[in-house]
Chains A and B, each alone.
Chain A
Amino acid sequence: EPEVTQTPSHQVTQMGQEVILRCVPISNHLYFYWYRQILGQKVEFLVSFYNNEISEKSEIFDDQFSVERPDGSNFTLKIRSTKLEDSAMYFCASSERAGGEAFFGQGTRLTVV
């Protein structure tokens, strides 16, 4: 069964460093998303991406964040100058169509120290 894969599963980084979280969405899906879940809190939408551009973003997704689809399979989230409060589980998801069911990856746990 096709699935969304994320790497790494766990990343530890020092405050102020840049991190890149990687995702391989399901191959025939056209919409890609990043969500985050701070420990013990709800899942929050960050950004959606379609046709090689951002289609929607939340207020969380400020200039510190960027997304890219560098090739036909990968979808990345870059966090510049990480802060302690960026520590969270980051989920990538993809869907065939807008508003359709999203399939989630297993997540990358980011720990900023």
Chain B
Amino acid sequence: AQSVTQPDIHITVSEGASLELRCNYSYGATPYLFWYVQSPGQGLQLLLKYFSGDTLVQGIKGFEAEFKRSQSSFNLRKPSVHWSDAAEYFCAVAHNQAGTALIFGKGTTLSVSS
């Protein structure tokens, strides 16, 4: 069965510092991979996605993620964190065929210190 693991429940980063949020997935083939962000009381906003091709994908708000098949990982990065980036971040995986469900990780809460 598919699964997504986000090993870090909570991360605190200083404003201006770099960020990496980890995501590992379990799936037999190459899945579609996503990162979503959820601010308090808000819905889920798509940051970026990977379907195929270039393994380094760029997203909104200065985020990027790299797909590494050998490590079954899809880590999210940002070179310089802003206070407004404080939120919950979810990694998700979907079937790349007819399946339609997104399987989410448990999320990583990002706090930004000044």
B43 touches A105 (CB 8 A): yes
User: Mask for B16-53, Cβ within 8 A of A = 1, else 0?
Assistant: 00000000000000001010100000111110010000
A58 touches B101 (CB 8 A): yes
Complex CA gap A25/B96 in Å reads: 22
A99 touches B34 (CB 8 A): no
Complex CA gap A100/B90 in Å reads: 16
A101 touches B49 (CB 8 A): yes
Number of B residues, CB within 8 Å of A: 25
B56 an interface residue at 8 Å Cβ cutoff?
Answer: no
Question: Which A residue sits closest to B44, measured CB to CB?
Answer: A104
B99 touches A42 (CB 8 A): no
User: Mask for A93-108, Cβ within 8 A of B = 1, else 0?
Assistant: 1010011111111110
User: A93 — which chain B residues lie within 8 A by C-beta?
Assistant: 44, 102
User: 5 additional contacts, CB 8 Å, given A35-B104, A99-B100, A101-B34?
Assistant: A45-B104, A56-B101, A58-B101, A99-B94, A102-B102
Smallest CB–CB gap between A54 and chain B, Å? 10
A103 touches B101 (CB 8 A): no
B43 touches A104 (CB 8 A): yes
B100 touches A56 (CB 8 A): yes
